Structure 1
Amino acid sequence: MSVRLDKVQATYNGNIESVITNVDLKNGAVITIGGLVDGHREAVIGATPTDVAIDMPLLVASPEIVYDSNKHNIHDFINVKGKPLRAYYYTLGDTVTVTDDMIDGTSVKNQYLIPVNGSSKLKAVADLSDNTRYAFKVLEKVKLYGEPATRYKVAKV
């Protein structure tokens, strides 16, 4: 539903992608990059991860602009397919907060979140396997816009 960039290096050094997908996505989703979009100078194709052992995950986090507050609120924000969205590369030490609807399973403090094939959500796991390439450590359970949320830190990239 929503995301907060607590401490993300890309917000300072500009390591951000303009991405176009063929599906609607919520902020806080995890995607990978396919290639350049035809007819766009810098936009890349965003896709659901298919090989998390190789594909670098990016965090979807576009500005949550709601144009008509009588019809929608911040919880209704969606990145519309076919339109550019903003995605951030993860850097070791980055901290991010996402609402729990963007996590598959139940996140637990001091456990982990990992990307999985075929999903734009991170999956909650108790421990990491030796071949886990990307991992995020759960720092705390919080609220974001009144919704249950998880604050996590990039632990392995």
Structure 2
Amino acid sequence: MSVRLDKVQATYNGNIESIIATVDLKNGAAITIGGLVDGHREAVIGATPTDVTIDEVLLVASPEIVYDSRKHNIHDFINIKNKPLRGYHYTIGDTVTVTDDMLDGTSVKNQYLIPVNGSSKLKAAADLSDGTRFAAKVLEKVKLYGEPATRYKVVKV
């Protein structure tokens, strides 16, 4: 549902992509770049990972703008397909908090989150034996906008 960029180097050095996905995506999703978008100078195609051993994983984190708070709240925010969204390139040491609905499985402090082929959610893992290019270590369990959430630190990119 939501994401908080606690300490992300891309917010300071501008390592951000303009991405267009063919499906609706929630903030906190893990995606890869699937190539350039025809007719756009800088936009790239957002895709789910197909080979987590080599694919670079990016974080979806667009500004969560709710235009009418009487009808919607921040939990309703979604990145609409075929519209530009923000994708952040991870750097080792980045810390991010995501609501637990954006994870596959139950995250555990001092264990890991890894990408999964064909999914835009990171998966909870006890160790790093899966050989993925990307991995994050779970720092703590918290609340984000009142929802259960996980704060993690990137350890592999």
Relative to the length of structure 1, the TM-score reads 0.98
The separation in 2 between residues aligned to 1:37 and 1:128, in whole angstroms, is: 34
Asked if 1:153 is matched to 2:145, the reply is no
Structure 1: which 5+ runs fail to align?
A: none
Query: Aligned residue for 2:120?
Result: 120
Q: Who is 2:79 aligned against?
A: 79
Q: Distance in 1 between matches of 2:6 and 2:140?
A: 13
Structure 2 Cα separation of the partners of residues 25 and 130 of structure 1: 25
Mapped partners of 1:132, 1:78: distance in 2? 27
Deviates more, 1:74-83 or 1:125-134: 125-134
Displacement of 1:156 in angstroms is 1.2
Q: Distance in 2 between matches of 1:37 and 1:57?
A: 18
Secondary structure of the structure 1 residue equivalent to 2:82 = coil
Partner letter of residue 29 of structure 1?
Answer: A
Query: What is the count of residue pairs matched by the alignment?
Result: 157
Q: State how far apart, in whole Å, the 1-side matches of 2:149 and 2:43 are.
A: 30
Give the aligned partner of residue 20 of structure 1: 20
Measured after TM superposition, the shift of residue 70 of structure 1 is 1.1
Structure 2 partner of 1:138: 138
| Other-structure match for 2:35 | 35
- TM-score, length basis structure 2: 0.98
Question: What displacement does 1:131 show?
Answer: 2.3
Q: Once superposed, which parts of structure 1, at least 4 consecutive aligned residues long, lie more than 3 Å away?
A: none
Identity of aligned residues (%): 88
